[in-house]
Each structure stands twice: as structure tokens, then as C-alpha cells.
Amino acid sequence: MTVMTEVQTEIVEGCRVPVLLKNGDGWHFAEILGKKEVNGKHMFYIHYEDFNKRLDEWVPEERMDMNKLEPPRKDQKTPKKEAASKLGSGPGSRPSSPEREIVIVNGNSTTNKKAPIVNRKRPRPEEDILLDEAVPPEKKPRQTGSMVAHNDDIVTRMKNVELIELGQNRIKPWYFSPYPQELTSASIVYICEYCLKYVKSKKCLERHLSKCLLKHPPGNEIYRKGHISFFEIDGRKNKAYAQNLCLLAKLFLDHKTLYYDTDPFLFYCMCEIDIKGYHIVGYFSKEKESSEDYNVACILSLPPYQRKGYGKLLIEFSYELSKCEGKTGSPEKPLSDLGLLSYRSYWSQTILEILIGLKPTEGNETPIITINEISELTSIKKEDVISTLQHLNLINYYKGQYIVTLAKEHMDTHNKALQKRKIRIDSKCLHWQPKDWSKRGKW
């Protein structure tokens, strides 16, 4: 007689198992990253495969199909998410470059209309580029920046803060942030919305607020219009605030980890103003000196203020500073998934605004503009202009030239998007002079 025995797979980190989704909408394979015991009940920290890590959660055994539990793979490695951060995602093969990168804007998308041939002189060398070659291959993440790409170890893959209280908002964090361990064991981490100091209890926060002298971020207020204000904070002069800001931001940024030397960075905090003070909405950081022309290191609008146009406002402000500097800029890569969406949307709207507003020049029936001119007008780096045009499928190749054909649907989509964009940066309200940091020694 043969006796069948079931081999029980030990539940360890790295095991894969189907998990019932929180909304009850079916099962999805997940990786087990950790386990703990709560009131005699086993809980498992899981990451849903192919889902963003912000959806990771602790689940009880009842939501796991243990009959389909798979042991860890011997060659298992943490996948690196590269696709979301690549900007040049246009079509692969293209014809060879024309002599000059000329964009002809045609208001109609009819194909039976011949595109005009433009007489052109030989350009300067820097204007003679291939469109595909203009988008550089993905580089390894730099080990500089207010935050740097992190090694995906098991500790940093697990959320360690359940809830934060910031001003009037209680917010559920998305990712790990290295707050002190004695704080992460608390059910709520309390954060002063003015100086960003973190404490372990409501009582401690009340005591702190009675002594806190700040009602706005430290540093200089460089912009104010209506209820929106921007402060520039020097990471060397206001180190404690800058480090606390990085800790807070890390709760909502997955692709980077903290870099505690804030001296080489400036932080631009956006606030909403009311009678109680200045309430932080979001921020971006920027290197004082960037060898690669990055005008943003990290950028974040806090969850309670998302989907209100503040993300685009932060991006628009960063390019307004680049215009003051007389430079073109680009955000530090890799971008998060939400960051990439925000930048794509901003670049698309800004470039379409330029193209739609063009008028024909003397002697030409059709408006003409070069990639370089778009870049200079917007301060958007040339590579980002090209990748955006490719992403929008606006570029066509015709008789030795690259032509941008704007269909009516492009204009309609653009106009609808602009109507939703209620708040914009007013350059007249910006009071800021760029500094030459190379002449300031070690800042």
C-alpha cells in the first residue's frame, strides 16, 4: 500500500502565493517579504507582482491560497523597474536625419496636401542632430542628489510607518522611510507642519507647537500670488529642516533613498496660505551646481494635495527658475511613475501651447520653428522636447525634413487640458536672482 504525504512548504521571505485583493476582486500572485504575529495571529507582508509597491500590505493567512504556495526561486533577484523612467519611448526605426532639424507646423492632418519645401542654409554643428540619437540611452542612476537610487533590500521594501499626522491631515504612507525605530512602533507619527519635526504622541506635538516659532518654512519667500507661496531653503543653512523634509518625502517616493548631506542642495517648498499660517503642499529640491543641467533632484506634492494641479505648478516653477538662469533644464532620472506622468503632461501642454500659437513667417505659408527654438522658449531640455514630440506621435518625415502635423483633435485635447489648469505661475510675482555657486567655495 502506498501512502501519499503532503509536503508542507515553509513560509519564508521570497515565497510566492496567490492573495485575495483587498476589494475582493480576484486573486493575484504576491511575494512574501516579512511576517509577524499579532495577538496570536500570523500576518504576512506581501508585494503584489507587477503592482506598484504603494499597494503592499500586511495580510492574514485567510487571504492567502496556501495550496498554491511556491518556495523562493534559487536565482530570484529583485527586478529593477526601468521602463517607467525611460523618457525616449518613441518608435524604434526612423529615416536618416535631414540637414537641419526643422519643424513645420500644419494645422490640418489631411495627407493629400503637399508639405512645403523650405530653403535652408547649412546649420551650426550643434543643430545638426539625429532625432533618435538626441535621446540618450538610459544611464545608471547617479549616486548623488538629495536622494539616490537605493539597493532594494528586504528592510527598505517594507513600509515601517502606519500613519502620519501633518497639520489637519492624517496620511497613510506609501513606502519605507528611515524614521527612528522607536517612532515606527507607534500607530501614528506626529509631524509639525511648520518645522517638520517628528514626535511620538499627540501630547508631545502639542507641547512642541506651543514652543515652535515657525509659521512657514525657514528661508526666503521668493514667490507669492493669491494663496500660493514658495520658499527657497538652503540645505546648508537649514540642515535640520532639509533632512526632516527628505524623511517626510521618502514616505511617498519609492525610487530613491535618503542622502543626508543636504549642503549641496536648495529646497523649494510650496505652501497654501491661510490665517493659521503656511501649510506645506509639496516641494522640489535642486542641486546648487549640476554638471548635467538637472533643474530638479526630487519633486513631490503630498497626497492630500494631489490631483489639484499642484504637481504641474511645481514643475512650471522649476522651469521658471531655469528661465531666470538662462538655461535649459531636466529632472534627475529615474522619475517615479507618477513623476513621469506629471512631466509628460507638462511637457506636452507647454510644447503644444508654443506650436499652436505660431504664426507663419514672411515668405512662408506654414509656421516654422526649430527644436532648439522650442527648447529656448520653454527652458525644456532638447532631449525632452524630442521625446515628447515622439510620445505624442506628432513627428512625420517628409522629403528630408521632420514635420509636425497638428490635427484638430490635438488642439481640442490641448484646449480641454488648459481649461482644467486653473492655477499658473505668474513670472511677475517671482522675486529671485540666480547665484553663481561656483564662486562661493563650499557653499
Active site (catalytic) residues: 332
Residue partners of 385: CB distance under 8 A and separation at least 6: 347, 351, 371, 374, 375, 378
Q: Are strands 401-405 and 395-398 parallel, antiparallel or unpaired?
A: antiparallel
Query: Cα(first)–Cα(last) distance of the chain, in Å?
Result: 82
Determine how many CB atoms are found less than 10 A away from the CB of residue 40. Answer: 5
Single out the residue of 385, 356, 353 nearest to residue 370, CA to CA: 385
Distance CA(146)–CA(262), nearest Å, equals: 6
Nine-digit cell at 114? Answer: 503637399
Task: Answer yes or no: are the C-beta atoms of 67 and 60 closer than 8 Å.
Answer: no
Sign of CA pseudo-dihedral 333, 197, 309, 288: negative
Using CA atoms of 306, 260, 297, 150 in order, give the dihedral in degrees to the nearest 10: -80
**CB crowding 303-340: b at 16 or more within 10 Å, else e:** eebbeebbbbbbbbbbbbbbbebeebbbbbbbbbbbbb
Query: How long, in residues, is the chain?
Result: 443
Q: Strand, coil or helix: what is 300?
A: strand
Task: Answer yes or no: are the C-beta atoms of 71 and 15 closer than 8 Å.
Answer: yes
Single out the residue of 411, 406, 355 nearest to residue 385, CA to CA: 355
User: Cα 9 to the chain's mean position, in Å?
Assistant: 40
